[in-house]
Structure 1
Amino acid sequence: MLALLLLSVVVAVGLGPASVAPGDTARYLWAAVTGGRIGADETTTYQIVWQIRTPRVLLAALVGAGLSAVGVAVQALVRNALADPFVLGVSSGASVGAVGVTVTGGLAAFGVHAVSAGAFAGALAASVLVYAAASTRGVLSPLRLVLTGVALSLGFQALMSVIVYTAPDGEATSTVLYWTMGSFGAASWGALPLVAVVVLLGLVVLHRYGRALDVLALGDETAASLGVAPDRQRRALLLVVSLMTGVMVAVSGAIAFVGLVMPHLVRMAVGAAHARVLAVAPLAGAVFMVWVDLGARTLAAPRELPLGVLTALVGVPVFIALMRRRSYLFGGR
């Protein structure tokens, strides 16, 4: 999977309105990393490869990996096969933040990153509200967590609809609606380090929680009998997944399907042990998102398709076909 991911990145960086051969793409990337030289007549192509496409493809890989890993964790956290990174209301809160900034022109000090900053603030606010509403005397039950997340998500969506409906600027409204369907169009080298640090550290932390997730998936009573404090583990995991989701939604918008279905596809291949699933799911999600983003920017060029549309159109039929071909139950086979 790692080799496939590296190959996918090189191919995706080279393809576009101005296609670059894989060999030349690899040479440009190597020159950029090592400080090598290129010909004067190749400067324009080099700038396209390194300054425009590479940060976008790397961001797609990071977001795909993060969404897949968070999906694995959330499904075990709330013991629900239909859970995804956005079931806790984080995505809807981020959307409200992005809409508010776009319509009102707030957070102007952040410049071109104002929408991302608003989305991240909204995501964190949503996470705090979900935790405060779902927690009772320090107990955070899976059912209350899901119900609270779904209820607040619907509330945030209603608030976002009101803001969009009353917005005087139609162009801002179109921008917001496009953002809520997912896009890596604003990717840049400046936005990449924070996402990379949060996602990669989050992947390491979630992998260390692999055994705890195995136990949590069996139920709180079983977890307690095995020496695992379910509420404490759930609070820590909620913090990690909320931070990861907030950062990813802030730079890419709301991308559906990946965090819901990728964990199930990986479980079909490697089994239900979370240590194995969390090792494979990020790589599978990264490869999938790199190719989805490539399709989004090339299939209808020069227009760009929303990522959420492609993830659903491609992923749903594949997932249904795999489900029908082999017996599969959440958490096992």
Structure 2
Amino acid sequence: MNITKNKFILLFLCLILLLIASFFLALSYGNAQIPLDSIADIVINHLVYGIKSNDENGALYDIIWLLRMPRIILAICVGAGLSVCGVVMQAIVKNPLADPYILGISSGASLGATAAVLLGIGSTLGENFIGISAFMGALGISFLVLFIANLGGPANSVKLLLAGMALSAICSAFSSFIVYFANNMEGIQTITYWLMGSLAGANWPLLSKLVPLILICIFLLWSQAKILNLMLLGDDTAITLGYNLQIYRQSYLLITSLMIGTIVYASGVLGFVGLLIPHLVRMLIGTDHKYLIPVSALIGASFLIVCDLCCRIILPRAELPIGLLISLIGAPTFIYMMIRKTYSFGSK
């Protein structure tokens, strides 16, 4: 049963408060613990008075403004983006087990990163050539999925899913082929760590491009809540109502692929968020995408902030790959939710 409007507003406000609390908790804790009053002074001095640092708080300013805050904002964007992509992907293919990587986009990103590290492809693109190559791989696979799914007739949810699974297997095979014949142990270690995901590369120039893109894409998808609800009912029902879902599926797939490719560029490959969060939210509020998308975005953002904080403090003077921690948390949680599932997916 879907949530009522009044309950949604109350839940939305609570999630905003949870996000704010997670934000300041992550700012305060780490290898160096910083009091909240010092954080407030630094933020106010920077935003209101334009004071960047001085002799007394120079080191704290660097930790707060140059290291932790960009990283937390990146976690918000990645968590919200992956969660919303998971919601939309599950509606596109009408499959509750779909996530942002079910259509082969993850394997495409992995192939791009593997080719960049071990073969040097894209090295002329600059110091971020690994991320750019992964982005191009993810985006390229999304176009191939659309092309193959449209062969022999219009694309539908089943053809999209099968095309994605086939291309995922092909990309994984090519990645394994490159790794097997590459005589570069350092490169193999680099690509393995990168594919586990990390938010350590966050910086303000990156966020200036990432944040607007993720926000625009999320609001675009949120505006399509009616069509996403219709997708869960099936093509036959949509046709009787005068909607051709083929065009919408292709448009939504391109938008989500753009988001995923950008996220892969910024943080590496992070799985499970787009699978776990939508299921959790459906258990709380139902399947109406008008409420499902914003709630998923907020919970996904808070979830990734907390996960990144744990990765920074679990090991002293070291950082645990965030993808590893998410998998350790997500897999048992998802199994539990499958056993205790109390919602219906789609029209059933």
TM-score range, shorter chain: over 0.9
**Pair 1:308 & 2:340 matched:** no
Cα separation, 1, equivalents of 2:300 and 2:163: 27
User: Is the partner of 1:46 in helix, strand or coil?
Assistant: helix
Determine the structure 1 residue equivalent to 2:118.
Answer: 103
Determine the structure 2 residue equivalent to 1:33.
Answer: 47
Determine the structure 1 residue equivalent to 2:3.
Answer: none
Contact 1:87 1:150 in 2 (8 A): yes
**Pair 1:2 & 2:20 matched:** no
The range that moved more, 158-167 or 89-98, is 158-167
Cα separation, 2, equivalents of 1:110 and 1:35: 38
Q: CA deviation at 1:11?
A: 1.3
**Pair 1:230 & 2:245 matched:** yes
Cα separation, 2, equivalents of 1:86 and 1:326: 23
Residues 109 and 188 from structure 1, CA distance in 2 versus in 1: closer, same or farther, beyond 3 angstroms? farther
**Pair 1:139 & 2:154 matched:** yes
The range that moved more, 24-33 or 196-205, is 24-33
Determine the structure 2 residue equivalent to 1:13.
Answer: 27
**Pair 1:61 & 2:73 matched:** no
Determine the structure 2 residue equivalent to 1:52.
Answer: 67
Runs of 4+ deviating beyond 6 Å:
none
Cα separation, 1, equivalents of 2:21 and 2:121: 41
Contact 1:267 1:331 in 2 (8 A): no
Cα separation, 1, equivalents of 2:179 and 2:319: 22
The alignment of Structure 1 onto Structure 2 pairs a total of residues equal to 333
**Pair 1:296 & 2:311 matched:** yes
User: Is the partner of 1:205 in helix, strand or coil?
Assistant: helix
**Pair 1:118 & 2:112 matched:** no
Contact 1:89 1:149 in 2 (8 A): yes
In the alignment, structure 2 segments of 5+ residues that lack a partner are: 1-14
Q: CA deviation at 1:325?
A: 4.7
User: Is the partner of 1:198 in helix, strand or coil?
Assistant: helix
In the alignment, structure 1 segments of 5+ residues that lack a partner are: none
Contact 2:83 2:273 in 1 (8 A): yes
Pairing partner for 1:203 from 197, 203, 218: 218
Letter in 1 for 2:141: A
Per-residue CA deviation, residues 266-321 of structure 1 (Å, 9 max, x unaligned), is 11111110110011000000000011111112111322212222112223333444
**Pair 1:214 & 2:229 matched:** yes
TM-score normalised by L of structure 1: 0.95
Q: CA deviation at 1:253?
A: 1.4
Determine the structure 2 residue equivalent to 1:270.
Answer: 285
Cα separation, 2, equivalents of 1:108 and 1:221: 48
Per-residue CA deviation, residues 80-104 of structure 1 (Å, 9 max, x unaligned), is 0100000111111111111111123
Pairing partner for 1:128 from 120, 129, 143: 143
TM-score normalised by L of structure 2: 0.91
